[in-house]
Structure formats: C-alpha cells, structure tokens
Structure 1
Amino acid sequence: MTQAIKESERIEQLLADPWAVDIQAIWEQALHNPDPDKRKLFDALHTYVLDKRQEQIINEKKFVI
C-alpha cells in the first residue's frame, strides 16, 4: 500500500466523526502555519468540520429554530 493511500484512509477516518477532531488545533494551524498553502488547507478543513458539526446539530430531532 502506498503512503498516499494510507494518508487518504487516515484522513477519511479522521473526518468520519467531526466531533473527534480537535477543531481548535486546526484553527491554530490555519492562523499560524508559516506555509500559506497549508494555512488555506487548514482553513478549508476547519470550515468542513464546523459545517459537519452544525449539520448534525440541526438534524437532531430536538433542535428547534
């Protein structure tokens, strides 16, 4: 198995449960990573995880607007 496939599987497992991800650590990387491309990646990852968390909350039966 190649390294890229292993990393891809790890990312899939990480993103499978948005509540298991340390969103603060992702946000810190988005703000302070010296590589601008990595900052963009972490920003997109933060947005994705936040959206997934919000989606789960909104879809709960007890959620009322």
Structure 2
Amino acid sequence: MRILCFLLLTFCLLFSQIPPGIGQRSDHYRCVHKGGTCNFSPCPLFQKVEGTCYNRRAKCCMG
C-alpha cells in the first residue's frame, strides 16, 4: 500500500510540473517556418507585417 501511495504521489508531482503551453510552437518558429524574418524595427522595403515574434514584441516580416 505504501508503494502505491508513493507511486501516485510521484505521478502527481511529475505531471504538475508540465507547462500549460506544451506542444505549441513559438511565434518565432511559425514566422521563420513560413519564410519570414523577425524584426524589432519596421519591416524592410517591399516586405509586409504578417504576424509577431518573441511573444508579440517584434514583427514577422514577409516579402
């Protein structure tokens, strides 16, 4: 019985440490994967803003 309680406690502690956003790609990864670049400054000439990068602190520029 003690072993069962110990295993249950270990299982609960293990899965309580998993972050809620696991399995989601970062916005930087999605931008680069689509062929864009992440810029903190305005997008270069002939490119347009297609999204964000770095948790909405930068722009994803696509040309």
One fold, TM greater than 0.5?
no
By percentage of residues, which structure has more helix? 1
TM-score, normalised by the number of residues in structure 2: 0.31
By percentage of residues, which structure has more strand? 2
Computing the radius of gyration over CA atoms, which structure comes out larger, 1 or 2? Answer: 2
TM-score, normalised by the number of residues in structure 1: 0.30
